[in-house]
Amino acid sequence: MTEVPRCQSTSTPSAELVIPVRLPRNALGLVLLWAAVAVGCASLAEPWQAPEVAFAGFRFKEVTLARQTVNITLAVRNPNDRTLPIKAMTYRLQIAGRDVARGASALDRQIPAFGEALVDLEVEGSLIDLIQQLPRLALKDVPLDWTVSGTATVADGFLTLPYRYSGQVNAGTLLALGIRR
């Protein structure tokens, strides 16, 4: 077996050989970009919780025999620990088991962390049946079941969160809400 020759150093045994390494000028920029992406991805790791949505009322905008345009108000509560950037919503509103409105709206709403905001959606729907029944139901003082369901699109359209909530509203209260302009 042959022995590999070793290099002999003329320096003292405690001295170290330092070789300067030059990084390209944009290396610092690349390191910072990588760090920013890592932090951004870490925030995506925590899943978004769907907003809590409740029917808060409606207001007639235009009523004709052919169509009814109504502003429906939804109370949207953000259960997340960061601002919920809602870009769009789909919705379906049922009152007393009847479809009252459905559709989709583009939005640009920022619901604060653990906060709540009212969101008005302009919808076209067929409310004639419900409108005809409200005075009779209001006299009976019967609570009406409501259900609102749909999706909220957040994070610049990259994430869709489904929601579905139900409750009851007094028919007289609902009638009073609709009469106010």
CATH number of 47-179: 2.60.40.1820
If residue 118 lies in a helix (H) or strand (E), which one and from where to where? strand 116-125
Share of the chain above pLDDT 70, in %: 62
d(CA 34, CA 173): 56
Residue 7: is its pLDDT beyond 50?
no
Tell me the whole-structure pTM to 2 decimals.
0.62
DSSP 15-30: -------PPPTTHHHH
Binned at pLDDT 50, 70 and 90, residue 82 comes out as: very high
- 36 or 61: which leads in pLDDT: 61
| Alpha helix segments (H runs only) across the chain | 27-45, 128-140, 171-179
d(CA 75, CA 51): 10
90-99 average pLDDT score: 84
| Domains of the chain, residue spans | 47-179
